[in-house]
Every structure is written in structure tokens, then in C-alpha cells.
């Protein structure tokens, strides 16, 4: 059945539908090379020219899929951290907890970011790879150091260690749900104490 044409001014809706379809196909395939323009447009019910009105090529489509999900992850962690403007340690903890919550609640989006083979990468203006989500984590570590609640050292390196650990928790807790996992807040406290020297929370 042919898809009904969007009303004038509804091009943004089609754009989002194309992004949703590409994300779903990418999560299912696990490999960018197996996602084709034809598969995306057939899933939405349009033809390739409709896609090219919004994206120059498949790489541009995939890049936007990834950017959208990294943006959502960055927003989730930043929103949680912003609840503690005067407590850098609490902000860092909240950001890590929000990362784990987002990964749990958005398995398809998380898989697109970290479990799929992607040749298309996000690039900063200087040509290096990265994302706001990670850059924000680095900044939260730096603020803890400036406040004297985290050990000295390269904040990028410390953030990399945190990200590696939280990603491990996020993926393993899904792959091995029956493992006797400790309480998530206890895991986060132990992680941040051991990696960046954050003091433990004071029990009320």
C-alpha cells in the first residue's frame, strides 16, 4: 500500500520517520554495511528521492542517526548532573547513574551507538572523533578535581576509565541479568572511589 503523501510543512515528520527506520534497521543488522537506502525507504513507505530530499546519502543518514542518539544520551546525563550545581561529586555520580539508566531504557539506541559496526563516525569541527556525552563527562571529572574531591591526573584518561566501566556494567547487566549484581548505587560509588578517588557518600 502506498504511503500517503505528507501535507505541506510535514517534511520534518518524514525526516524523523526515516531516522527511526534507519536506527531500527541498524540495531537489528548490527552492521552499517547491511543497511541500504532501499531498505530504509521501503520500511517508511516512500521512494529513494524522498530520502534524498533530507539526506545527501546513506552516510549522512547514518551520521544523523548516531548524532541524534548521542544527543539524547548527553541530554540525559547532563540533566541529571545539573540537579547538583554546587556538588561536583554528586553531579558526577548522577551523570553515571543516568548513563546506565539511559542504556537500560533505550537498548536499540544504545546498540546503535556502541554495539554496531559503523564506518560512519561523528567528527568534531577539528576533525577528531567524539561526542558531547563524553566531553561532558570529562568536564565533570575536571570540576571534581578543581573542587579537590578527585585525584589529580588527565581528566580525559579518567573519564575514559569511567566510560569503559559504565559501558561494561550497561552491557553485561543486559547480557547476564541473572548474575548477582550489587546495587547500582553501590557499584557507582565503588567505581568512582577507585577510579577517581571520589569520597564515598555520607549515609543519612
| Structural domain includes residue 203 | no
Distance in angstroms (rounded) separating the CA atoms of residues 189 and 195: 10
In Å, how far are 124, 140, 155 from 132, measured between CA atoms? 10, 12, 15
Q: Is residue 4 part of a domain?
A: no
Which pLDDT does position 48 carry in this prediction? 95
Asked whether residue 62 is domain-assigned, the answer is yes
Instruction: Give the 3-state DSSP-derived string for the chain, with helices as H, strands as E and coil as C.
Output: CCCCCCCCCCHHHHHHHHHHHHHHHHHHHCEHHHCCHHHHHHHHCCCHHHHHCCCCCHHHHHHHHHHHHHHHHHHHHHHHHCCCCCCHHHHHHHHHHHHHHHHHHCHHHHHHHHCCECCCCCECCCCCECCHHHHHHHHHHHHHHHCCCCCCCCHHHHHHHHHHHHHHHHHHHHHCCCCCCCCHHHHHHHHHHHHHCCCCCCCC
Q: What pLDDT was estimated at residue 119?
A: 77
Q: What is the value of pTM for the model shown?
A: 0.86
- Give me the residue label for grid cell 528521492: 49
List CB contacts of 46: < 8 A, sequence separation 6 or more.
3, 14, 18
2 within some domain: no
Q: Which domain holds residue 115?
A: 11-196
The pLDDT of residue 185 is 94
89: cell is: 561529586
- 131 lies in some domain: yes
Whether the CA torsion 16, 21, 22, 24 is positive or negative: it is positive
Quote the pLDDT of residue 140. 98
CATH of the domain at 187: 1.10.357.10
Predicted local confidence at residue 92, as pLDDT: 98
**What pLDDT score does 7 carry?**
42
Number of domains composing the chain: 1
Residue 107 included in any domain: yes
Blockwise average pLDDT, block size 10, the chain, 204 residues: 46 92 92 94 95 94 92 96 97 97 92 84 64 93 97 96 96 92 94 93 54
Amino acid at each position: 500500500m502506498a504511503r500517503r503523501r505528507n501535507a505541506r510543512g510535514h517534511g520534518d515528520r518524514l525526516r524523523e520517520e526515516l531516522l527511526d527506520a534507519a536506527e531500527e534497521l541498524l540495531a537489528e543488522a548490527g552492521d552499517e554495511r547491511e543497511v541500504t537506502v532501499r531498505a530504509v525507504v521501503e520500511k517508511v513507505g516512500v521512494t529513494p528521492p524522498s530520502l534524498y530530499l533530507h539526506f545527501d546519502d546513506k552516510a549522512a543518514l547514518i551520521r544523523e542517526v548516531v548524532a541524534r542518539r548521542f544527543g539524547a544520551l548527553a541530554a540525559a546525563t547532563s540533566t541529571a548532573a545539573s540537579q547538583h550545581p554546587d556538588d561536583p561529586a554528586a553531579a558526577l555520580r548522577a551523570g553515571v547513574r543516568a548513563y546506565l539508566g539511559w542504556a537500560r531504557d533505550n537498548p536499540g539506541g544504545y546498540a546503535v551507538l556502541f554495539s554496531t559496526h559503523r564506518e560512519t563516525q561523528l567528527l568534531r569541527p577539528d576533525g577528531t572523533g567524539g561526542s558531547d556525552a563524553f566531553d561532558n563527562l570529562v568536564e565533570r571529572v575536571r570540576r571534581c578535581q578543581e573542587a579537590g574531591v578527585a585525584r589529580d591526573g588527565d581528566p580525559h584518561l579518567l573519564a575514559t576509565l569511567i566510560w569503559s566501566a559504565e559501558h561494561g556494567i550497561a552491557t553485561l547487566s543486559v547480557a547476564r541479568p541473572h548474575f548477582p549484581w550489587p546495587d547500582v548505587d553501590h557499584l557507582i560509588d565503588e567505581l568512582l572511589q577507585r577510579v577517581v578517588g571520589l569520597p564515598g557518600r555520607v549515609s543519612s
